[in-house]
Amino acid sequence: MLQAGVHAAALREAANIDYLTGVANRRAATHLLRDALDRAHAVGTVVPIILLDIDHFKRINDTFGHDIGDTLLTQLPIILHEHLRVSDTLVRWGGEEFVVVTNETDAGAVAHMAERLRAQIAGYAFVQVGQCTASFGVATSRRSDTPDSLMKRADQALYMAKQGGRNRVEIASAHVEI
């Protein structure tokens, strides 16, 4: 019986952890966001998120090989975790995209956090790649948000960062709900 419990726990972990980076995966993030939004709606707070994407990652893979690209993907969470709080959750959303789910309620503080993370990545010398950058989109939940709608706004802000020249932080436009 104990062995079955250990096996079930291992399966649960495998289903929720990204095998390459060791951080939560998209499946886990969706559940985390849903729970965080439910709590925020119940108590009248917000859920800010930071979506980041490594700039020119295809070029890194094409130049150095996918094994080096994978090494960069495993180094990135280590760098990010050094500058996140215990209460923040890092997620590999997919490919070269990561999400930070934070319980910070001040939008300005979240934007500063994103800027600190951006600067840390830009200043780091990755194994064999050297310097690389990432673009960031920040969004804060609204009362009507679902995980998908919150992620969509963060993705739109990330797109603005890419269009604005990369290696920058953009904040999703404010919208007042009635």
pLDDT, tens only, 20-53: 999 999 999 999 999 999 999 999 999 999 999 9
Q: What is the pLDDT of residues 109-139, one digit of tens each?
A: 999 999 999 999 999 999 899 999 999 999 9
**Given 13, 96, 97, 104, the catalytic residue:** 96
Q: What is the pLDDT of residues 50-75, one digit of tens each?
A: 999 999 999 999 999 999 999 999 99
> Is 178 a residue whose pLDDT tops 80?
no
What six digits make up the tokens of 131?
């310097």
pLDDT of res. 15? 80
The predicted model scores a pTM of 0.90
Catalytic-residue membership of 96: yes
Secondary-structure percent of the chain, ordered helix, strand, coil, rounded to 5: 50, 20, 30
> Is 177 a residue whose pLDDT tops 80?
no
Report all structural domains of the chain as residue ranges with CATH numbers, in order of start. Answer: 2-171 (3.30.70.270)
Distance CA 93, CA 25 (A): 6
The residue type of 76 is L
Q: How far is CA 92 from CA 46, 53, 173, in A?
A: 22, 10, 24
9-28: average pLDDT:
83
Average pLDDT over all residues of the chain: 91
pLDDT of res. 176? 44
14 or 33, which is more confident: 33
**Residues with Cβ < 8 Å from 42, sequence gap 6 or more?**
none
Are 53 and 135 a contacting pair, CB within 8 Å? yes
The residues pairing with 51 across neighbouring beta strands, listed in sequence order, are 99, 137
Indicate the burial class of 132 (C-beta count within 10 angstroms; 0-12, 13-18, 19 or more): buried
